Structure 1
């Protein structure tokens, strides 16, 4: 409970930051205006050729019987042939979870409410991810459409704890548009004075950043739902488990099917199949791969990846089976697949090759990065209710909307993302290197604010009994008036959180 109260305070303290230093970057990198999102979803004002981004338009663009976006409820969504694979996969995951995880006293996600005719997915945000241009050799990164399910009840709309991300290729459906042009369109929108529906229509109009985007640009679907929660009143603890999955369209079957999740290491399979595990160890420790791993731009081959994951929040409850790196690297088990000696030797080989390592300078830093590049490991950092972008609920009354639409890490990463978009727009080679999810700063960058990185609740390098900080986290300092103190959930790593010094 203390952790939850602290998180509420942190979210409250984040609101001035969103309205201040980060606002300019957000206008170029995200759509978070409630009335603009409403227009992009419902298309209540006509006049432009673009049909908008309602979920039916994205997943069923040529329906036999067109309907208003507001009428495209989830019973219709899950009845689409293209969604039959996703629907079956959810049913299977819930059945498996009930049999292996959830005690009877846990509160499970209401899967029937999700599929009900009184529930629909509302567009809650659009995120520019041109900073992911390194993923595809000839790509420009991604644009993500974030949808949240709204369930209508007798007492009003209820927001279900889930996101559905429709991930688009940033160039959209027009390969003739260059990456430079894509970046310039997004940056130009930063100076626009329009707000609400007027801004949405301009973004969709010819020459706007959203104009090239549509169903043909879909790369994949991603889901993140709070599958179960447990509250221990006696101990004052709260735990939530989240199901993460990725789906890609199977042309032969005509539907979305579960696919390998980017960098989500299949820990259990690598440990069970020692030969496969050793192959992964050799691949990861190769100097060029280690360099990409250090920079946060590594893409792990599908052969080593899982197709689903359960992330546990708070991370204090995340014991070895949930941590992708547990049993693979570091002193977590007596016989790790990648030992500390292996890591030290690999780091030295990289240095001997002239590779400058920015984030990994120790076995502890190696293990932290190994968890961080995974879907579940990133999820287990300090997000808002497990999400780094809960988004905007424009369907609710203003007084009932959440105060902050993004986690501290989402806000803190905007400077790095904008620097990449600016470099692409100027025709320069961008630096895609990124920090860890819970310390999202770019080494050497001039940041508009240090508060997200060093302020209250920030991750920091925790000194040991002798006053020494692990080399990987030595630069993770706290702002004036704060000290690095132990925090629940970080005991397995030499990392604490910045809090006011105890008197």
Structure 2
């Protein structure tokens, strides 16, 4: 019941804020008919991966493309590891495809089936990631949803997304980042929908005018690989497999790559020397400050190539993976001790003032999980995804459907402020708050919603002495609401705002 209540709060409370963010932002294309028109023109996945292709193709033909062979092989290996690990942990449970199993496995055959294809479900501006790729003005993400082409009575959309991530502009292209930012900001004033809006977006002065295959950087995949249906005890679990594949422009092939900031927890714990190297690197003042701001890029030697995230994760540190286990808890050996963190915070503060988000070991531990792909996706996702997108093949769009998670919606204000700064030639503030509690820079727009102090918002519960951790001092609830525990761990200080 608690999980069901949590999901209800998650979905219902975000709708008004979502509408405001979308109407005021213009930084994402979510209109179903517009997406359908864009895909039919030149934004189909196959058309970008194989420019000679003139129409959308089914997945049997898509994965026959030589450049995608490494993706198919890597996903096959990841599925095999998941099965082996699960059977080792729970040998008595049955895992398979379809009803009658304790754990339902994603039907991997759907990836390369003649009955499925990837349908464009959204286009998202990520100029806010210009700190990663400044010369390319950040990124543009084309998000595709795996869909049956002849569903019959079955749900057409399958639980997998594929993000084709492109540089926002081609290296050497004449358009400046300021010009590109201005084009995106202009979209919020467009009144057209459907084919007319698609035409404006790809017109010579539109934000998508010059998007082409030369800008491809990588593919990101997110698959609901396994699902344990709700039992009589009320518990359930869903596992999400995430991987990244970078594009080799010379060989015209994708290859498995380390995931940005996906800390390889198991390897760091198994290799003490590597763990110490990571500790020393992360706690260096400049790196710790970037870590606090959310702009840190962790070196590949500390990273993993796979993330397996579970939902619902709950709010207790023990439920969040993969990074929380790096903190020593007095029972298990970790990479960081509280003293390590306190000393590093004091040193950083002495050199440049107190950090914005991380003030205590608890804040440091939460940020460790927060910066990882898996950790981010465990928090406030809709069914494990942050952008479910719209069904551009549907005859009608479901009224009130929310195309993105509270995390996505809550971050639009920050992203828009960055795009405005870039348009105006000012130095952008790329910093971000914690995943499940947006920065106070958006407090006016988000106040009273499930994103910030309203019903269903993430909050911090004071301890028995009435004290609150300094890292979460602003995580309060609006008048008439109180911060209450969620899930089975009543000791967790992180809760949600509910009626008293």
TM-score for the superposition, normalised by structure 2: 0.92
- Report SS of the residue matched to 2:487: coil
Using the TM superposition, give the Cα deviation of residue 395 of structure 1 relative to its aligned residue in structure 2, in angstroms.
Answer: 1.5
Q: Is the 8 A contact 1:229 1:239 kept in 2?
A: yes
Using the TM superposition, give the Cα deviation of residue 251 of structure 1 relative to its aligned residue in structure 2, in angstroms.
Answer: 4.9
Q: Is the 8 A contact 2:315 2:495 kept in 1?
A: no
| Aligned pairs for 1:323-342 within 5 A | 323-331=321-329, 333-342=331-340
Q: 2:362 and 2:105 mapped to 1: Cα distance?
A: 35
Q: Is the 8 A contact 1:364 1:493 kept in 2?
A: no
Q: Which ranges of structure 2 fall in alignment gaps of 5 or more residues?
A: 88-92, 95-101
Q: Is the 8 A contact 2:127 2:138 kept in 1?
A: yes
Matched, 1:150 2:147: yes
Q: 2:319 and 2:381 mapped to 1: Cα distance?
A: 21
Equivalent residue, structure 2, for 1:365? 363
Q: 2:283 and 2:292 mapped to 1: Cα distance?
A: 11
- Report SS of the residue matched to 1:153: coil
Q: Which ranges of structure 1 fall in alignment gaps of 5 or more residues?
A: 44-51
Q: 1:420 and 1:179 mapped to 2: Cα distance?
A: 12
- Report SS of the residue matched to 1:237: coil
Equivalent of residue 108 in structure 1, options 105, 117, 121: 105
Equivalent of residue 126 in structure 1, options 120, 123, 128: 123
Equivalent of residue 92 in structure 1, options 77, 80, 83: 77
Q: Is the 8 A contact 2:314 2:486 kept in 1?
A: no
Q: Is the 8 A contact 1:294 1:358 kept in 2?
A: yes
Equivalent of residue 51 in structure 2, options 61, 82, 101: 61
Q: 2:126 and 2:253 mapped to 1: Cα distance?
A: 26
C-alpha spacing 1:320/1:17, structure 2 compared with 1 (3 Å): closer
Equivalent residue, structure 2, for 1:404? 402
Q: Is the 8 A contact 1:314 1:489 kept in 2?
A: no
Equivalent residue, structure 1, for 2:8? 8
C-alpha spacing 1:24/1:333, structure 2 compared with 1 (3 Å): farther
Equivalent residue, structure 2, for 1:496? 495
Q: 1:409 and 1:498 mapped to 2: Cα distance?
A: 16
- Report SS of the residue matched to 1:101: helix
How far does the alpha carbon of each residue in 1:188-238 deviate from its partner, in whole angstroms, 9 at most, with x for none?
A: 122122211111111111111001211111111000010000024221112
Using the TM superposition, give the Cα deviation of residue 136 of structure 1 relative to its aligned residue in structure 2, in angstroms.
Answer: 2.5
Equivalent of residue 218 in structure 2, options 212, 217, 220: 220
Equivalent residue, structure 2, for 1:473? 472
Q: 1:492 and 1:299 mapped to 2: Cα distance?
A: 33
Q: 1:407 and 1:81 mapped to 2: Cα distance?
A: 34
Equivalent residue, structure 1, for 2:311? 313
Equivalent residue, structure 2, for 1:238? 236
Q: 1:334 and 1:217 mapped to 2: Cα distance?
A: 45
Using the TM superposition, give the Cα deviation of residue 472 of structure 1 relative to its aligned residue in structure 2, in angstroms.
Answer: 0.6
C-alpha spacing 1:280/1:147, structure 2 compared with 1 (3 Å): same
C-alpha spacing 1:77/1:253, structure 2 compared with 1 (3 Å): same
Q: 2:324 and 2:36 mapped to 1: Cα distance?
A: 43
Matched, 1:389 2:387: yes
Q: Is the 8 A contact 2:13 2:456 kept in 1?
A: no
Using the TM superposition, give the Cα deviation of residue 334 of structure 1 relative to its aligned residue in structure 2, in angstroms.
Answer: 3.2
Deviates further, 371-380 or 52-61: 52-61
Q: Is the 8 A contact 1:228 1:242 kept in 2?
A: yes
Equivalent residue, structure 2, for 1:48? none
Equivalent residue, structure 1, for 2:276? 278
Q: 1:177 and 1:256 mapped to 2: Cα distance?
A: 28
Using the TM superposition, give the Cα deviation of residue 260 of structure 1 relative to its aligned residue in structure 2, in angstroms.
Answer: 0.4
C-alpha spacing 1:153/1:485, structure 2 compared with 1 (3 Å): same
C-alpha spacing 1:285/1:127, structure 2 compared with 1 (3 Å): same
Matched, 1:164 2:162: yes
| Aligned pairs for 1:12-31 within 5 A | 12-19=12-19, 21-26=20-25, 28-31=26-29
Equivalent residue, structure 1, for 2:99? none
Equivalent residue, structure 2, for 1:74? 59
TM-score for the superposition, normalised by structure 1: 0.92
